[in-house]
Amino acid sequence: MSAPLLELRGVARRFVARRDVFGRATATVKAVDGVDLALRAGETLALVGESGCGKSTVGRLALRLIEPSEGVVRFEGSDLASLGERGLRGFRRHAQLIFQDPYASLNPRMTVGDMLAEPLALHDIAASGQRAARVGDLLSLVGLRPEFAQRYAHEFSGGQRQRIAIARAIAVEPKLIVCDEPVSALDVSIRAQVINLLRDLQKRLGLAYVFISHDLAVVKHIADRVAVMYLGRIVELADTETLFADPRHPYTRALLSAIPVPEPGLRRNRRILDGDVPSPIDPPPGCHLHTRCPHAVDQCRRDRPALETVTPGREVACHLWRDLPPARDSLPRESAPDPVLAKLQAAFVAAGSVA
Ligand code: SF4
């Protein structure tokens, strides 16, 4: 079998949280704690979890925007830490990032055409005489008119700006794009259009996505596989259909039970976890979730649960996963629809592929 496009093995990343008056570190946060992941070409892997769980840090480690404290990140089999300047430049061409905020990610002083031409020149992708035509092609590819190249970012709506950011990312013909909450700042109906655009571009260009989101309704629509993170660790990893139909980890079940059901008159029983997310500066020993988990036993307070294979491609980090009742029983439905989710799902249907 060929090497994965992207691979993280035993990756950890610590940050200094506090320093004393002499500048010495007095507290550190392990934002990512022993993460193993692999992404195939053309695949979408979603990273989900509450704010501060480490999913954006994993995205930045995958792009070598920050260095791991431990472990190795490989792209097409090459250790990113071993790349020199030239190798890193080649990698940057193949691996791009789309940010949450399209307002902040575009240069307000450049025309859209200049912004899209810049990476073409930087990576020698198109000769200067061909760049204008290539810019027009890129704008068409993301559903915008080629003449928009003459305008500035402030002249566009939020959805259009995110399309421009996507055009800039695909300008260098990448193989991998890390999408960090790419639709969170957009209106519900625009969200659906941008997600459908990303799916359409993936099919046409063979892109792989690491899709970072706290919005499970969106993740369900775009991801092939989902990794659920809690306090820097992956607690469950499965293909999307399996994870949503039969979540095994108590944390995954709590996250999924918080998604409203769009059908009129139906709602899931929410499984709210007790307490707040513990401080990442001093996380609980053993299983990080034990302070909030209704199933916790002594072993959970003592031993870190390893990711265990449930079925091929499906892994769970919980000492009790074999003994917990099926998810069907843990997620019964009751009353009351959620109007926002219903609108989002209707918008996915109505948006078509490229708006
Ligand atoms: Fe809950 Fe224990 Fe499983 Fe952690 S290992 S999720 S505390 S049952």
Q: Whose CA is nearest to atom 4 of ligand 1?
A: 287
How far, in Å, from the CA of 321 to the mean position of ligand 1? 8
Instruction: Report how far ligand 1's centroid is from the alpha carbon of 302 (Å).
Output: 11
Q: What is the mean pLDDT of the chain?
A: 87
| Closest C-alpha residue for ligand 1 atom 5 | 318
181-236 per-position pLDDT tens digit: 988 888 888 899 999 999 999 999 999 999 999 889 899 999 999 999 999 999 99
Which residues' Cβ are closer than 6 Å to ligand 1?
A: 250, 287, 289-290, 293, 295-296, 300, 305, 318-320
| Predicted pLDDT of residue 355 | 28
294 Cα nearest atom in ligand 1 = 1
Q: 288 CA to middle of ligand 1, Å? A: 8
Nearest protein CA to atom 6 of ligand 1, as residue: 318
**DSSP characters for 72-87?**
EEEETTEEGGG--HHH
Q: Which of 99, 104, 138 is nearest to 120 (CA)?
A: 138
Ligand 1: atom nearest CA of 297 is: 2
**Ligand 1 center to residue 249 CA distance, Å?**
8
pLDDT at 105: 78
At the second CATH level, the architecture of 6-223 is: 3-Layer(aba) Sandwich (3.40)
- Name the percent of the chain lying above pLDDT 90: 67
Kindly list the domain boundaries of the chain, sorted by start residue. Answer: 6-223, 233-339
What phi, psi does 307 have (nearest 5°)? Answer: -70, 120
**Ligand 1 atom at minimal distance to the Cα of residue 235:** 6
Q: Determine the pLDDT at residue 350.
A: 55
Report the phi/psi class of residue 45: left, alpha or beta, with left for phi > 0 and alpha for psi in -120 to 50.
Answer: beta
Q: For residue 320, how far is its CA from the centre of ligand 1 (angstroms)?
A: 6
pLDDT level of residue 102 (50, 70, 90 thresholds): confident
Query: For residue 315, how far is its CA from the centre of ligand 1 (angstroms)?
Result: 14
**Quick one: pLDDT band at residue 117, thresholds 50, 70, 90?**
very high
| Tokens matching residue 5 | 């496009």
C-alpha to C-alpha distance for 207 and 114, rounded to whole angstroms: 24
pLDDT, tens only, 122-147: 888 888 889 999 999 999 999 999 99
Q: What is the pLDDT of residues 311-342, one digit of tens each?
A: 999 999 999 999 988 775 444 344 344 444 45
Strand order in the sheet with 6-19: 25-39, 6-19, 70-75, 78-79
Largest CA distance in the chain: 69
Is the pLDDT score of 175 beyond 80? yes
The rounded distance, in Å, linking the Cα atoms of 279 and 277 is 7
| pLDDT tens digits, 35-64 | 999 999 999 999 999 888 999 999 999 999
Q: Which pLDDT band, with edges at 50, 70 and 90, does 352 fall under?
A: very low
Relative to the CA of 287, which ligand 1 atom is closest?
A: 4
